Amino acid sequence: MSIYDNELAIDCILLAGRIMMESGAETYRVEDTMLRMAHSQNMENSQSYVTPTGIIFSLGRTQPTRITSISTRVTDLHKIALVNNVSRKLTSHIITLEQAYDELQKIQKTNYFLPILLQVLAASIASSCFIILFNGSWLDVPAVFVAGGVGLYVVTIVHAKTRVKFFSEFLAALVIGIIAFLAVKFEVGQDLDRIIIGGVMPLVPGLLMTNAVRDLMAGHFMAGIGKGVEAFLTAFAIGAGIALVLSF
């Protein structure tokens, strides 16, 4: 195994870990995937240490060790599935290391998200369904349709502009609260509480919460607590935005 091969392997494995972590995969699964990829390349002594904000990966005693930092975290299940696919192919020796690295680079550059309008529409429909599931009345559906869609739109746009997650969620919750308040005031909707609950459902940190507990159970206490704090901050931001509207 030459130095070049080692460098390529470490780049490839780190990139895979980084894409998975940035797309919101569980920490223990990222570690597992990285080690599997390394073992398939006959690197038995490799070690990986994954946290939500950075990855440290080493190939062994006399080999290089590399760090990569992770600054953004979104929920992108498509990328996780794609990286998983590449690692599966690499570990069963269907593709070589060079091909895997090329594929991973392509995955990292491509934006797999569906158009924002489709996402907003999905959020609207999901919110409307939830208000009926939570025993709301069909009369509130138009108001919650608007509130859910606008909420997701605000969170996406503000996050793209400011890069502060807490602030974008706070603002989105505030907008949802105002829409619900106006809807009740102008008698488009009836039940303020249920409109707000339905509207904030697309913002709920469901992925973070489940990942936090699963990482804790897998023994990754740093990652579990980190993600738990992120989930708590998100919930707190939503709560603060709604509370501001309710307190008037």
Partner 1 sequence: MEIFIQLGLSFVATACFGVIFNAPIKAIPWCGIVGALGWTIYSLLSQNGVYEVHASFLGAFVVAIVAHIYARSFRVPMIVFSVSGIIPLVPGGIAYNAMRHIVEVDYLTGMEYGMRAFLISGAIAMGLVFAEVMMQLMFRFMNRGRTSIQSFVKEKKATKLK
Name the phi and psi angles at 48, rounded to 5: -135, 140
What are the structure tokens assigned to 248, written together?
Answer: 């008037």
Of 1 and 246, nearer to partner 1 (C-beta) is 246
Min. distance of Cβ 24 from partner 1 in angstroms? 8
Of 12 and 20, nearer to partner 1 (C-beta) is 20
Does position 157 bind partner 1 by CB under 8 A? no
Min. distance of Cβ 3 from partner 1 in angstroms? 33
Among 91, 99, 105, 119, binds partner 1 (CB under 8 A): 119
Among 80, 144, 172, 223, binds partner 1 (CB under 8 A): 80
Point out which residues pair with 58 in neighbouring strands: 47, 65
Point out which residues pair with 48 in neighbouring strands: 57
Of 204 and 229, nearer to partner 1 (C-beta) is 204
What are the structure tokens assigned to 72, written together?
Answer: 């953004």
Binding mask 178-207 for partner 1 (x = CB under 8 A): ---------------xx-xx--xxx-x-xx
Give the DSSP H/E element, type plus range, for residue 57.
Answer: strand 54-58
Q: Give, to the nearest 10 degrees, the angle between helix 77-91 and helix 3-22.
A: 150
**What is the β-pairing status of strands 47-51 and 65-69?**
unpaired
Among 1, 67, 81, 229, binds partner 1 (CB under 8 A): 81
DSSP of 93-135: TSS-HHHHHHHHHHHHHS--PPPHHHHHHHHHHHHHHHHHHTT
Name the phi and psi angles at 180, rounded to 5: -65, -45
- For binding to partner 1 (CB under 8 A), which residues are involved? 24-26, 29, 75-81, 84-85, 88, 112-114, 118-119, 122-123, 125-126, 129-130, 132-134, 152, 193-194, 196-197, 200-202, 204, 206-207, 209-211, 213-214, 217, 235, 239, 242-243, 246-247
